[in-house]
Amino acid sequence: MIHAPAPFARALAGVALPDWLDCKVEIRRRRKTPGLIIEPNLVTIAAPPAATPQELAEALAGQLRMVLTAASVPGPSTPGWYDHFDLIVIHTSGGKDSQTMLRRALALLPASVRDRIVVLHLVLDKDPQAGEEPRIEWQQVPELAAEQAARSGIGLAAGDGWAVWNLHRAKKKLTGRSQWAGQMHYARRDFDGDLLDDFATRCKRDGSPRGWATIWTRYCTSDWKTAVGRAFTEYICAQIRAELGLTRPVRVLQIMGFRAEESDDRRDRAPFSFSFKASASASRHVWEWLPIHDMTKPEVWADIAASGVPYHPAYDEGLSRLSCRVCIQGSRRDLALVARMAPDTVADYVQVETDLNDPFQHRRPLASIQPAPGPAGFDVHWLSCPTCAVRVLANTRESQRYCPAHASTGPWHLPALSGPAAPCAQGTLFDLIGPVA
């Protein structure tokens, strides 16, 4: 039974609605295109101001087809469920959760789907292809993400991982699956500068400074990750459509390393779900799989210790997350560590804070953060494990480093790392924006 204002109820009565859609319908005449937001017992339809009830009903039929599609797909507990997908996108930040997620996902997916898999890392620094040193991410994070993927059998794509994204930027079409399938890729927002330059120069429509992104307006995530990840995914989808001659939407499985214990929001996510926000009714349907949703932080570190796959030495300094060095959601403790480890980067941020006359975090200026005790500065280099000779990423203060499998200690022994840390959207690509046709 649909309860909606007349005449919308009459128009919607002509649409083939799923039986289980027994709820109240709210019509909001605000958006340019019809949308559909489903909450328990409430469907919110945002409609263009000029739409007639019949136009609205027809447009919503496409959205409702997605509802039916979402309900029809088997989940990870069903044998062969992965065969449903044309494209599998594994998002990695290079952090601890990402490497465990990558390992678990690839262990659970058969080799037969490798030719549908891409691993993607999004870069927030200046273009590394121009030899720029990072100041947003920690040193060697993209390289570490590639090493972690390689250790799971996914090699770096051509052009040091940038070939596909460079073709996209050149507005050229992909000509074959061999350009992307079973490979690790980088992508980056097409912007002359890095994320801090964006913070410093972004303006509102009236020309006044936009100011820092906040927890409520995370444009750092939506523009540098969500939009870029969506564009990369759609670029691959176009090649798949051409190759397979698809007349239906491309079925995409996106895999991320979110864990339930990170936050209430992540606890509320289902380990497998259909993403209305990431899907477009005609071009792609996107499902989200969180293979380590049930894992605790100690379990993640135990997995890394057993694997021998390198993690970033920034964790050894006590950082709870491998996000942007200076994150708008960073805890006071993490920011104090960053002030010690990367004083030049923090000085750049404080300068922007001064120029914008806007505190970096609500009621917490970055200038007020005192560096944590300990050695100032931080850099990394690659070494070989003395026991098994695999590559490991080490602090430059170390001349020898064992891989996690042969290290006598590691961040898994740091008591300060227990307990939840502020969640980051490092791997979140489609969360903050609505569906795009």
Binding site for ligand SF4 (CB under 6 A): 213, 218, 220-221, 224, 323-324, 327-329, 424-426
Query: Which residue type sits at 198?
Result: D
User: Closest CB to ligand SF4 among 76 and 359?
Assistant: 359
Report the distance separating Cα 426 and Cα 322, nearest Å.
9
Nearest to 342 by CA among 309, 306, 310, 366: 366
Half-sphere CA count of 139, side-chain side, radius 13 A: 17
The structure tokens listed for 227 are 């939009």
Q: How far is the CB of 146 from ligand SF4 (least distance, A)?
A: 20
The structure tokens listed for 367 are 């200038």
Q: How far is the CB of 48 from ligand SF4 (least distance, A)?
A: 32
Report the distance separating Cα 184 and Cα 192, nearest Å.
24
Per residue, the 3-state secondary structure of 32-73, as one string, reads: CCCCCEEECCEEEEEECCCCCHHHHHHHHHHHHHHHHHHHHC
Q: How far is the CB of 323 from ligand SF4 (least distance, A)?
A: 3
Nearest to 57 by CA among 5, 13, 26, 3: 13
Matching residue, tokens 């979140």: 428
User: Closest CB to ligand SF4 among 339 and 425?
Assistant: 425
Q: What is the DSSP letter of 342?
A: -
User: Closest CB to ligand SF4 among 95 and 310?
Assistant: 95
Q: How far is the CB of 374 from ligand SF4 (least distance, A)?
A: 22
User: Closest CB to ligand SF4 among 116 and 225?
Assistant: 225
Q: How far is the CB of 92 from ligand SF4 (least distance, A)?
A: 14
User: Closest CB to ligand SF4 among 324 and 338?
Assistant: 324
Q: How far is the CB of 283 from ligand SF4 (least distance, A)?
A: 26
Report the distance separating Cα 119 and Cα 102, nearest Å.
9
User: Closest CB to ligand SF4 among 254 and 279?
Assistant: 254
Polymer length in residues for the chain: 437
Report the distance separating Cα 64 and Cα 52, nearest Å.
18
Matching residue, tokens 């972690």: 148
User: Closest CB to ligand SF4 among 44 and 214?
Assistant: 214
Q: How far is the CB of 328 from ligand SF4 (least distance, A)?
A: 5
Q: How far is the CB of 419 from ligand SF4 (least distance, A)?
A: 19
Q: How far is the CB of 175 from ligand SF4 (least distance, A)?
A: 33
User: Closest CB to ligand SF4 among 149 and 425?
Assistant: 425
Number of H helices, E strands in the chain: 12, 13
Give yes or no for a contact between 7 and 28, defined as CB atoms under 8 angstroms apart: no
Cα 169 to the center of its chain, rounded Å: 20
User: Closest CB to ligand SF4 among 224 and 289?
Assistant: 224
